[in-house]
């Protein structure tokens, strides 16, 4: 972390706080009945999305999952449009047609949250293939969960990316559960990163609550991808604070487990580290906390005030043209 | 036989429970249906969810982890395993959480489960059930709200059923489990909390039988699954104007009870089909084609289809409510065939 | 413009070649389309096969291994890669060797490629083509002989085309490649060696336009893909008895040229639809429903469907020849609608 | 091999010869236009199917592939019915409805050749699950090719079999090619058996032209499965003599490669070994050669003389019942 500039440290903290603020607020709004549908929150996993995207430019790509809010914010999607999308408003990222599970911003390289587990793998091979054929230096990071690791698409994608040396980083977010099913039940491998052997690519596991560890692992993998040497598999081990989706009673979590998780909070860990080392000051952090809260307040106000899409909108955006 | 009021969810669950008691070869597999490997929950005699919407709640406690199995997110593997187990002596029930996920595992259903018997010259039997959630109304957007039963109905070798009430939910599930062919059982999310009378004992509604949900003489409305409820609402509305609608619920799409549908059309001379699925190559088109081919001389007006538009399912409540067929649209269509 | 006689295979291949010359963002992926990593073949300027049935022969030599890629047997990965590449700036063509394999990769086609644009509120564009082999006649049995285009046509967001002649094979492929939406292009195996006149230059047949393959006044026969050839045979046969049949080839199924079909029906007052696919929720049912809903008053008799039966495709020549619709069955159906 | 009885040696040789005879004849008959459709021949791979099935009883199961003739004969399916099926005759294993790609004999534990690559993996988990739930000692061997190793179904199946400890042996027949595409191109792994690491199960590669090596590797894996310890992944490296399917010009094979393959003939290797060690005599082998030829002659005659199915048969066997 020595070589991290202060600006980067500030950026990392701000993104993590923005995500946490966004998610805590979304949880509230869902409970108040203001946000409909299936909402999967990222709180607790901030260090992964932010540690990854700190290595990427706007021209790089990510493919996301059903739990995509954190990836979006880390990649620079506007929280206003995101919140409006959760409300199903016309001003949302997808004009209200996608909702939480389909937020996307192709221009910023965010190729979409996805409702289908493991679907991002093939899509990531696609943006990777585009970059390879056009000879750009764009890298694609494919986020997928521990549960997604058991979906055939991920196997096919890692093999394809490996034989074609595609500039893709396969980033497994192992938060210990696929819905209510623990990874130690659904996954036969000791570590999901062991599966790199199956594709003869580098693979390692890192602490997903340590943004510095995530950053370093990914920067190495991104550099390798940009050098044209192909994909890497990185497993980030962490946890989620909220249920699988809002409404989940979380009976499958023990109290011990919840306490352990709280003790590993990625944002607290970051604060502790930068304060101890005098890299950032209490004041600098407090300013960001305030700004993050304000940004999300504004996002909620924006969403509340925005209009719903007009009924005719049901029929548009299916095709570019349909004779 | 005593009859209680149960929710659709309870009736569905009861059918599986009674069949699993009756036949030890009936097993159940799916994602999160048993609650992972949660020893602390098992200790309390609980599971986590009993399936995303609680359809299988309590079954693991009664039947244990050998017959009620959580699966990884590997639909091809576990639904294909159901096919392999069915052709070697079990009667598996596999839960495909949402039908929208069929795209990752359809080969095992349509090229394996559906075709083994035919390709093997009748030397295999594949008694299995895939139960899966369909339909809009949950604000679940494009990949969690589809119907898609027309696609399964298109495939020779599959049987398809779409229950609409707690009563037929139970009877059709028992029928599906006892059936010797692969059956796809479609559960509309929005129906889960609806309730109605359900007999206590274990009864079977044979596949391939439609139900006339309302007798009428002026027009036939064939309505699938949840649409039956909307059609009955529309019928009440129209009754105020003295229009007497007959509502036919096919219950099974394959085999389809063609004679009940055709008899109704021959009686009323007017046809409206209500289908929440997308319109092209749909059940709505199939039933209209059926009537045009086989009751042409009896039709006094052009049949009408009330379906979702040819678009994905939108997320926003403002859009999804326009997307899904409504009682009002059915009323309109009935007036049109009577005009 | 000079016109030569080409086979369907050559015309198909030429369209891709001309489009790849015209637009460097057009790429091609599929199993065994380039001949593996065979250095000894490359040295000779050869590929192994150029696709199982030689559809892509010679393309790797002209365009190289970056734009023409062999894939592993990973349909989800490479067809999904086509979706990802299309939404980020390429115009990929992916070969799904046989449509029968769609069951292992349909999610990437129907939930991703077809829906991204809508789910993203119009902020994505997915210009890609999936070309795939369909149909019976090769004694290829249940898992290598299906049509299945009705399933793709059911899905909003997809376009579907079924060429029938070398001429429209070329023009529809150019049209599909230049189209900004995902297009599924279905090639009937048996048509590959048929030949006909094909202009040398690069022309486009716009999607959504049917062709009246034969003008007639007594009955309309809508025939899809290879069935167009059988319908024309049947028309000749019937002409001997003074029956003048109009044959309409939809060419595209989605979008469907409804007006050309309806105009023909309004002219002839009789309708037969010929479709090699299975009957339930089929294109045949869709087109009959279309006519019943929109040309009811013009129909003088019940429309008829000539389709494969509701069974998998059998292997034995003795059975497959009975399975596939024949000119004789079309003749019979036309006589029936005229009776 | 010390512990192999003479009967077993005779059985192994007979099965290998029957397969070779069957396939060479099928190639001829296809060339003569007597067998229609897609025919994928097993010649060259006899040691794999036979070495595997020598470990199985009639009650055990196998799932097969498009290249299934050898698996069928090794598992005891009647060559007469098989040949009649290739002809599309009513007396065939599938009454002419399946053809080469779908020959099955469920009663003998042969769960079907399969036209879909990788489809056997899930089916094998199914018969394995049946055995596990019913508490029988039946084992299932899942044959799949090197090309099939890149299909998502195989990944899902190996993981599922591993977490459920299903009595399944995953048997990869690596003949070096998927159609025209060489394994070193389509597969990122060094050895396909390396993928066992991804499921934390035993995995090894053996010489697929050495029936004794195959037999030993599989007997260990079958014993493990019967002990309830779960699946094993075995890769057998070999080759095929014929093209991918009949009609293939095989231009992708170099002459050197063809020569190398001929030098590794699994049947010659077996003969050499048993003769050198005096385990079987020339006479014993010659008798089997003659019997095998006669069996296949009879099978062809049977197929030739059998009637085609009646047209009405198109409509039967779709459902057990269809109200
Ligand atoms: C193909 C498919 N199968 C099942 C589901 C239902 N589902 C949604 S999220 C989820 C669990 C995903 O677990 P994981 O990949 O670990 O991601 P996490 O939720 O833990 O972030 C499941 C099973 C789905 N969306 N798609
Ligand atoms: C899902 C699917 N994709 C593609 C094919 C076409 N196909 C048939 S055999 C084959 C090659 C299989 O290679 P391998 O698994 O190594 O088996 P081998 O032919 O070498 O025995 C392919 C691509 C198929 N049948 N199924
Ligand atoms: Mg998880
Ligand atoms: Mg091979």
Task: Return residues 301-330 of C near D (CB < 8 Å).
Answer: 309-312, 314-319, 322-323
**Pairing assessment for the beta strands D203-207 and D181-182 based on DSSP bridges:** unpaired
pLDDT value, residue C40 = 83
Pair A148, A183: CB distance under 8 Å: no
Pair B265, B212: CB distance under 8 Å: no
Q: How confident is the model at residue A298 (pLDDT cuts 50, 70, 90)?
A: very high
On whether any CB of chain C is under 8 Å from the CB of B5, the answer is no
The pLDDT of A235-263, averaged and rounded, is 95
The pLDDT of A38-57, averaged and rounded, is 98
CA distance B154 to D55: 42
Local confidence pLDDT in tens for the 323 residues of chain D:
547 999 999 999 999 999 999 999 999 999 999 999 999 999 999 999 999 999 999 999 999 999 999 999 999 999 999 999 999 999 999 999 999 999 999 999 999 999 999 999 999 999 999 999 999 999 999 999 999 999 999 999 999 999 999 999 999 999 999 999 999 999 999 999 999 999 999 999 999 999 999 999 999 999 999 999 999 999 999 999 999 999 998 999 999 999 999 999 999 999 999 999 999 999 999 999 999 999 999 999 999 999 999 999 999 999 999 98
Residue D96, phi-psi category: left (phi > 0), alpha (psi -120 to 50), beta (remainder): left
**Pairing assessment for the beta strands C219-223 and C245-249 based on DSSP bridges:** parallel
pLDDT value, residue C46 = 83
The sign of the dihedral angle between the CA atoms of C18, C22, C26, C29 is positive
What are the tens digits of pLDDT across the range D31-50? 999 999 999 999 999 999 99
What are the tens digits of pLDDT across the range B202-245? 999 999 999 999 999 999 999 999 999 999 999 999 999 999 99
CA distance D270 to C339: 71
The pLDDT of A88-92, averaged and rounded, is 98
Pair D224, D230: CB distance under 8 Å: yes
Rounded to the nearest 10°, the torsion over CA A32, A33, A35, A39 is 90
Of all residues in chain B, the percent with pLDDT exceeding 70 is 100
The pLDDT of B272-301, averaged and rounded, is 98
The minimal CB distance from D197 to the residues A153, A155, A197 is found for: A197
Determine if ligand 1 sits within 6 Å of the CB of residue A67: yes
Pair D148, D68: CB distance under 8 Å: no
**H/E element holding A187?**
none
What are the tens digits of pLDDT across the range D210-260? 999 999 999 999 999 999 999 999 999 999 999 999 999 899 999 999 999
> Considering chain A, what is the average pLDDT of its residues?
97
Cβ separation of B153 and C101 shorter than 8 Å?
A: no
Beta bridge partners of A143: A171
> Considering chain B, what is the average pLDDT of its residues?
97
pLDDT value, residue C330 = 98
On whether any CB of chain C is under 8 Å from the CB of B282, the answer is yes
Rounded to two decimals, what is the model's pTM?
A: 0.98
Beta bridge partners of B211: B249
Pair C48, C36: CB distance under 8 Å: yes
CA distance A90 to B105: 35
pLDDT value, residue A121 = 98
pLDDT value, residue C48 = 83
Q: Where are the alpha helices (DSSP H) in chain A?
A: 6-31, 46-53, 69-75, 79-87, 120-134, 152-163, 183-186, 211-226, 255-263, 266-276, 282-305
Rounded to a whole number of angstroms, the distance between the first and last alpha carbons of chain B is 46
What are the tens digits of pLDDT across the range A120-179? 999 999 999 999 999 999 999 999 999 999 999 999 999 999 999 999 999 999 999 999
Determine if ligand 1 sits within 6 Å of the CB of residue A66: yes
pLDDT value, residue B41 = 84
C144 is catalytic: yes
Pair D118, B78: CB distance under 8 Å: no
Cβ separation of C151 and B115 shorter than 8 Å?
A: no
Sheet holding A61-63, edge to edge: A61-63, A140-145, A168-174, A232-237, A203-207
User: Which residues neighbour ligand 3 (ion) by CB within 5 Å?
Assistant: A 145-146, 175, 177
Question: Which residues have C-beta within 8 Å of that of residue C211, sequence separation ≥ 6?
Answer: C168, C248, C249, C251
Which chain D residue's Cα is nearest to B180? D320
> Considering chain C, what is the average pLDDT of its residues?
97
Is the pLDDT at A2 greater than 70? The verdict is no
The minimal CB distance from C302 to the residues B101, B281, B296 is found for: B296
User: Which residues neighbour ligand 4 (ion) by CB within 5 Å?
Assistant: D 145-146, 175, 177
Provide the CA A266 distance to its chain's centre, in angstroms: 14
Cα–Cα distances in angstroms (integers) from residue B283 to residues A175, B158, B231, B233, in the given order: 42, 15, 16, 21
Cβ separation of B138 and A101 shorter than 8 Å?
A: no
Sheet holding C245-249, edge to edge: C211-214, C245-249, C219-223, C271-275, C304-307
pLDDT value, residue B212 = 98
> Considering chain D, what is the average pLDDT of its residues?
97
Determine if ligand 2 sits within 6 Å of the CB of residue D69: no
Is the pLDDT at C239 greater than 70? The verdict is yes
Q: Would you name the residues of B annotated as active-site residues? A: 144
Q: How confident is the model at residue A1 (pLDDT cuts 50, 70, 90)?
A: low
Under DSSP, the state recorded for D105 is B
Determine if ligand 1 sits within 6 Å of the CB of residue A45: no
Is the pLDDT at B37 greater than 80? The verdict is no
CA-only gyration radius of chain C, Å: 20
């Amino acid at each position: 972390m020595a070589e991290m500039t202060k600006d980067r440290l500030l950026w990392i903290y701000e993104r993590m706080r923005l995500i946490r603020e966004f998610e805590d607020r979304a949880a509230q709004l869902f409970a108040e009945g203001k946000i409909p549908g299936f909402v999967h929150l990222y709180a607790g996993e901030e260090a992964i999305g932010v540690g990854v995207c700190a290595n990427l430019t706007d021209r790089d790509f990510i493919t996301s999952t059903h739990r995509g809010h954190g990836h979006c914010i880390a990649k620079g999607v506007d929280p206003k449009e995101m919140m409006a999308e959760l409300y199903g408003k016309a001003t949302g990222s997808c004009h209200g047609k996608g909702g939480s599970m389909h937020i996307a911003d192709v221009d910023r390289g965010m190729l979409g949250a996805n409702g289908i587990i493991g679907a991002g793998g093939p899509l990531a091979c696609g943006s990777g293939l585009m970059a390879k054929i056009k000879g750009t230096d764009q890298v694609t990071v494919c986020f997928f969960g521990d549960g997604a690791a058991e979906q055939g698409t991920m196997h096919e994608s890692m093999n394809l990316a490996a034989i074609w040396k595609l500039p893709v980083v396969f980033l497994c977010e192992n938060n210990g559960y696929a819905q209510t099913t623990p990874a130690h039940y659904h996954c036969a491998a000791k570590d999901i990163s062991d599966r790199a052997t199956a594709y003869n690519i580098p693979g390692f596991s890192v602490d997903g609550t340590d943004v510095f560890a995530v950053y370093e692992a990914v920067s190495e993998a991104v550099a390798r991808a940009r050098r044209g040497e192909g994909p890497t598999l990185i497993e980030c081990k962490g946890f989620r604070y909220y249920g699988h989706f809002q409404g989940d009673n979380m009976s499958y979590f023990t109290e011990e487990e919840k306490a352990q998780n709280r003790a590993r909070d990625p944002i607290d860990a970051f604060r502790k580290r930068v304060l101890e080392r005098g890299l950032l000051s209490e004041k600098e952090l407090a300013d960001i906390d305030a700004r993050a809260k304000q940004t999300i307040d504004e996002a909620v106000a924006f969403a509340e005030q925005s209009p719903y899409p007009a009924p005719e909108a049901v029929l548009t955006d299916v095709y570019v043209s349909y004779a | 036989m005593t009859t209680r009021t149960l929710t659709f969810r309870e009736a569905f669950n009861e059918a599986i429970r009674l069949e699993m008691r009756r036949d030890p070869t009936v097993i159940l597999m799916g994602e999160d249906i048993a609650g992972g490997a949660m020893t602390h929950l098992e200790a309390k005699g609980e599971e986590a969810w009993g399936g995303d919407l609680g359809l299988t709640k309590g079954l693991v406690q009664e039947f244990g982890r050998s017959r009620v199995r959580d699966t990884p997110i590997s639909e091809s593997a576990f639904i294909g395993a159901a096919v392999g187990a069915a052709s070697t002596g079990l009667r598996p029930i596999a839960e495909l959480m949402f039908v929208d996920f069929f795209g990752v595992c359809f080969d095992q259903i349509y090229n394996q489960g559906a075709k083994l018997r035919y390709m093997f010259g009748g030397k295999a039997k594949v008694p299995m059930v895939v139960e899966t959630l369909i339909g809009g109304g949950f604000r679940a957007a494009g990949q969690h709200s589809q119907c898609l039963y027309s696609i399964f109905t298109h495939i020779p070798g599959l049987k398809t059923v779409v229950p609409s009430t707690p009563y037929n939910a139970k009877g059709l599930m028992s029928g599906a489990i006892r059936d010797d062919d692969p059956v796809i059982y479609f559960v509309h999310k929005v129906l889960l909390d609806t309730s109605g009378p359900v007999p206590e004992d274990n009864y079977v509604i044979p596949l391939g039988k439609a139900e006339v949900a309302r007798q009428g003489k002026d027009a036939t409305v064939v309505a699938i699954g949840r649409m039956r409820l909307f059609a009955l609402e529309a019928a009440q509305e129209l009754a105020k104007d003295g229009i007497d609608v007959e509502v036919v619920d096919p219950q099974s799409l394959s085999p389809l009870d063609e004679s009940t549908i055709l008899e109704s059309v021959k009686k009323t001379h007017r046809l409206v089909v209500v289908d929440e699925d997308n319109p092209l190559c749909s059940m709505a088109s199939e039933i209209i084609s059926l009537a045009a081919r086989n009751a042409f001389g009896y039709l006094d007006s052009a049949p009408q289809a009330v379906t979702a538009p040819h678009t994905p399912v939108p997320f926003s409540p403002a859009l999804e409510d326009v997307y899904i067929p409504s009682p009002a649209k059915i009323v309109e269509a009935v007036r049109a065939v009577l005009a």
